[in-house]
Chain A
Amino acid sequence: MTAFLQAIMDGLTLGSLYALIAVGYTVVYGIVQLINFAHGEVFMIGAFGALATWTVLFKGQTGLWVLPIMILGAVIVSVLTAVIMERIAYRPLRGAPRLAPLITAIGISVFLQEAVRLFYPGAKSKLTFPEIDVVTGSAIQVGGVTVQRAALFTIGALALSAALLWFFVNRTRLGQGMQAVSQDPDTAQLMGINVNRIIVIAFALGAALAAVAGVAQGLLNSNIDFRMGFLAGLKAFTAAVLGGIGNIQGAVVGGLTLGIAESMATQFIPGQFGGSAWKDVWAFALLILVLVFRPQGLLGARVVDRA
């Protein structure tokens, strides 16, 4: 039983991380039907942004008060990256065959990874992420279940982000504009909604959450490296598909489901195919199974295929 609860806890932590990133895929896909492949790198850059903020402003500090500023730094760097990326690389390709933006995305992804590796001091190997009071440090024991402090931070960050996102999408003018554009961009344009602005906001929103995820990842693993975006991005995409791509609640549900499935697989698949060596394989196998049996995802893709 304890093992089960522990697996649930680990799964929720991992799932929260996936969910935070997955929102970025889903929001952008919902509006422009584009899989922003380079979103994983936005997450990675967020982590580096946080580290840079800490290194430049607070080197040596461990107080909790630096955390919000680190997150702010991460968000700024990520959002800038995403917005520039949209403006320079994706926007000119709207209306091009679907192959074009996908290939562009791969190019951006490789470019960003390499740019960080080459130009961030010391990034050719793993970099240590700072320890922050309260959110890192000795784990808490709850009835036999070990709970990392950073895990609580991650889950809390997801809960808060999801609430804010819900408020934004459903209760603000911009959010409603976003919904309108995802339903029908042409009509929305005619109704006076600035579609370009909405698209930029979608990218920015996804980037902001990815940045938070980047910080969470740094705290969880206590180190970051330039390759971390690739696998995390792929998993988060899997989560988005699992929940139903284009559907924001779906991304959260999908992320948590994937995280729990992964930790359960690690914990409970017996014999040689169990353990962490195979967990990624099971995660991707899940992606393929979802596509076979429920391509619209758990909650259903909200966007119809306009092809």
Chain B
Amino acid sequence: MSTHDDLTPTNDLPGVDAPAPVRETDRPAYDDDHERTPLLERFPGRGSAAAWPLGLLGVALLVGGTFLSWSYTSNVLGDLSVDFYPNGVQICMIILGLVALVMLLAHQGPLHRLGDWLDTAAAVRILGLGALAYMVITLGIIAVRSGGLINVNPGGWVSTVGALLIALSGLMLVSHQSKDPLFAQTSSWVEIITIVVLLAAVLFGATYALGTSTGGAFSLFLVFAFALAWGLAKAGFFTWVGLIAQKNRQVLMLGAFAVAFLFPFTQGGSDENMSIATQVLIFAATALGLNIVVGLAGLLDLGYIAFLGAGAYVGATMSNSAFATIGWKPPFLVVVLIGACFSAVLGLIIGSPTLRVSGDYLAIVTLAFGEIFRFTMGNLDGTNGPDLTNGPNGIPAIPELNFFGFDFGQPHEILGITIGRFANYYFLLLVIAAIIILVFTRLNNSRIGRGWVAIREDEKAAEAMGVNVFGLKLFAFAGGAFLAGMAGTVKAHHDVSVSPDQYIFLESAFLLAAVVLGGMGTVAGVLIGATILKLLPEKLRFINDYRLMIFGLVLVLMMRFRPEGLVASQRRKLEFHEDDEDLAERIEEVHLEEEEAKA
């Protein structure tokens, strides 16, 4: 018996001597619900028997309402005016209603045992409130677009009342969750099916979101997705998902790539959506590279876009463009390598002096470097320096890539589905993203990754334990530059032209925002962050002018309230909440459970 085990408070709490999987989980300490409990507990009718049937009635009304017409006019949010033919906006509510139904049945009824594992009351509450918000916004849009609430048809009112009833029911219900979903034992086929279903949901969601024709429908989808995710998170569902994702890493990775690969086939050759998707992918691949520097090594690189630009300029000057200034035209794969190496060398030049001094300097020096890069590219036009970059006008008319006769500019037919220009680049970028993800995850789980964590934790202690602090930092910095340079060469061809104003500081800030928003040190987080940051401005044109301001605000708020990002790396979460003992205990439990699952 080691000293430590004696100190672990396993069963010495009075009253918690129930059988194996139950471990002091009568209190859901891992969510922040307990802070709000007093207000919630004073809610009238709390715990009453009427709550459950009320919820069922709410689901029936919400779902029933979607089969009726919501709007008198047929030109709002698609067509909401047809009875018994729900469109996308209405289907979202059906899905939310069905999930709420499952939660209600888990609370009481056939799925009762599931309710032992999940905080069903919280889930119903959030889902109900989310549905209510969704309905109110929908009715608002109908009213604004077609002149008053008079144009809302009965179906809309029925669904709104249904959402309200679900929300009330959720506020009145008291969860009987007694077990931590972390300790749920599930068979592997359930896990794999769950992963497949979730991935399919992501694919359908992305397709639907891209397909929405109006900003209103897109905003509504965001409300829906947010309510669904938050509700399930509150229930504790994602605790379990996180665990099975760890257990079935390979399945998840393969599945995710399958989804990403299949995506262009769902677009029916729509170039508009594929163009957005490719932009998201370029952005995401670059952000993933930045995440190695920021998320793993903990170095704040504010000039990252310059490394992408360096690669792009190499790609452009060595291309077959009539404006290219270098006579040598090697094959594209060689150009990729040269671009990547050129960026990495720049990284070494910038990194080696600055990485020796305090980390704050690096941020500023990289920022200054980004500016130097931009000025220099703008200056090398023949009058202010050798003619290399064609100055502020940049290098236009970069030809399409051509791999062994495969022209990226031409559409191709695969299985009867047209794969257009953007889809071609999409597949190429997918490969690059995959390489970067591979580099990211493998470095993270290696001697080098451990060194980076140690440096982030305590640089001096790491040095005193023999970790090559400077070398590892420089490697991260130059390695990140290498990957950005690689992506840059492709970007040059994708964008058709390069010019200095594509590589301004704000772009670097955007990349950083993707990393911060999504979650430093995670792959999934950065993918989500990049998608949100690129997709929102594309789909929500009306916020376009305010987009930068909102984004600045989001950075500040994230650092204040959720510095670890939307998808948190456990380690980062710990680092940002250094004095939260409960969190540390909780994360240790999760870790122990994962280790057990692996064994």
Chain A residues within CB distance 8 Å of chain B: 33, 35, 37, 89, 92-93, 95-104, 106-115, 118, 230-231, 234, 237-238, 241, 272-273, 275, 277-278, 280-281, 284-285, 287-288, 291-292, 295, 305, 307
Contacts and interface: CB of A to CB of B under 8 A. Distances in A.
B553 interface: yes
A171 B415 CA distance: 83
A291 B563 contact: no
B360 A35 contact: yes
Given A277-B384, A280-B371, A281-B372, A288 B556 contact: no
A186 to B, nearest CB: 16
Contact of A307 (B300, B354, B459, B516): B459
A107 B368 contact: no
Nearest to B556: A107
B40 to A, nearest CB: 26
Contacts of B365: 287-288, 291
B363 interface: yes
Contacts of A275: 384
A107 B356 CA distance: 26
Interface string B542-559: 000110110111111011
15 contacts: A33-B360, A102-B363, A103-B300, A106-B552, A108-B556, A114-B549, A231-B371, A272-B385, A278-B385, A280-B375, A284-B369, A284-B372, A287-B364, A291-B357, A305-B358
Contacts of B385: 272-273, 278
Contacts of B357: 291, 295
Contacts of A118: 545-546, 549
A109 B456 CA distance: 26
A32 to B, nearest CB: 12
B361 interface: yes
A39 to B, nearest CB: 12
B372 A110 contact: no
Contacts of A230: 505
A241 B553 contact: no
B288 interface: no
Contacts of A109: 552
B560 interface: yes
Nearest to A283: B368
The 3 A-B pairs at the shortest CB distance, nearest first, are namely A107-B555, A111-B552, A110-B552
Given A99-B298, A102-B360, A230-B505, A278 B379 contact: yes
A91 to B, nearest CB: 10
Given A278-B384, A292-B353, 16 more contacts: A89-B560, A104-B556, A107-B553, A110-B551, A111-B553, A115-B549, A238-B364, A272-B383, A273-B385, A284-B371, A288-B365, A291-B354, A291-B357, A295-B356, A295-B357, A307-B460
B368 A104 contact: no
A111 B563 contact: no
B303 to A, nearest CB: 10
Contact of A291 (B353, B505, B551): B353
B351 to A, nearest CB: 11
Contacts of B576: 96-97, 100
Contacts of B322: none
A277 B302 contact: no
A99 B455 CA distance: 14
B506 interface: yes
Interface of B: 294, 298, 300, 302, 350, 353-354, 356-361, 363-365, 367-369, 371-372, 375-376, 379, 383-386, 456, 459-460, 505-506, 509, 512, 516, 520, 545-546, 548-549, 551-556, 558-560, 563, 575-576, 578
Contact of B361 (A284, A285, A291): A291
A108 B552 contact: yes
Given A89-B560, A272-B386, A288-B365, A110 B359 contact: no
B559 A288 contact: no
A111 to B, nearest CB: 3
A68 B300 CA distance: 41
A111 B512 CA distance: 15
Contacts of B294: 99
A114 B383 CA distance: 34
Contacts of A99: 294, 298, 300, 520
A272 B563 CA distance: 46
A97 B295 CA distance: 13
A194 to B, nearest CB: 23
A206 B430 CA distance: 48
Contacts of B371: 231, 234, 280, 284
- Main SS of the interface on chain A? helix
Contact of A103 (B356, B372, B512, B548): B512
Contacts of A113: 548, 552
B501 to A, nearest CB: 13
B555 A106 contact: yes
Contacts of A291: 353-354, 357, 361, 365
Given A278-B384, A305-B358, A234 B364 contact: yes
A281 B376 contact: yes
A33 B369 CA distance: 23
A240 to B, nearest CB: 10
Nearest to B381: A277
A285 B372 contact: yes
A234 B298 CA distance: 22
Contacts of A292: 353
A214 B520 CA distance: 36
A272 B383 CA distance: 7
A55 B553 CA distance: 29
A285 B126 CA distance: 54
A98 B360 CA distance: 8
A122 to B, nearest CB: 15
> Could you say which of A102, A108, A230 has the most chain B C-beta atoms within 10 Å of its C-beta?
A102
B358 A288 contact: no
A110 B555 contact: yes
A110 B236 CA distance: 36
Contacts of A241: 361, 364
B375 A104 contact: no
Contacts of A100: 559, 563, 576
A110 B375 contact: no
A33 B556 CA distance: 19
B559 A103 contact: yes
Contacts of A104: 555-556, 559-560
B559 A272 contact: no
A237 B353 contact: no
Contact of B509 (A101, A110, A231, A288): A110
Contacts of A280: 371-372, 375
A259 B567 CA distance: 45
Contact of B363 (A35, A272, A285): A35
Nearest to B557: A107
Contact of A281 (B375, B459, B551, B578): B375
B355 to A, nearest CB: 10
Nearest to B382: A272
A234 B367 contact: yes
A284 B379 contact: no
